[in-house]
Structure 1
């Protein structure tokens, strides 16, 4: 991890990123308890890790990144996102929006507020996305001819 990403991630955790990561983990636990929500729990844990250390990583559409559709990027993925939105997505998004508003008050907090806004969008509709490093995403864009 480059030094700047390491520093930003440390500041992120100190300024409250750990609490939103805990929110994602809580969503995962609640999904596991319902048993029916187990498929969403794994994704929530993955995004919790991304929420804990967002700098140097990015969320990409899986079908665009892999170059092919799968079960999560088609109709079942859409249905899964609707269920996720109803059960957990809206309250996680609200948490990220509140954190973004609090951090946007200062100039130093602006990069963190922007990260929370990106995470709020991801919280609303996460199925069909994949968390990859920024380098992987850039390399894939070049390979696909979308530089």
Structure 2
């Protein structure tokens, strides 16, 4: 039994609304004990809606709780058709490149360099209504693991 579910078309699979639950673990300065790891949570909704020029507008909104303080949080990305059929070219809201995405095997690993830090993302399709991302952020100022579980809301 495989852990991933292949997806013929990433944009078709992602279209719609998803419930999103994220944990953010800050590993900087820890001595490998759970008590020293700062952890936050994000709970909200991620919606992939059609763009006029093709692709999907990704809008995420919800509540981020860090060190007991809850704040509203949101972000917007653009998922455009990729260079190969069924793939996507993910861009920030302002059009800057973020990463590529190919879910045809059900799993994708990609990198995004950001200044001196490196973001390595792993995308896993669990079934028709569930997928997960794990971003590992490493650099001189960051040592984070962000894990998001998505469940189809519509």
Asked if TM exceeds 0.5, the reply is no
- Provide TM-score, normalisation by structure 2: 0.25
Which protein has the bigger helix share?
1
Which protein has the bigger strand share?
2
- Provide TM-score, normalisation by structure 1: 0.26
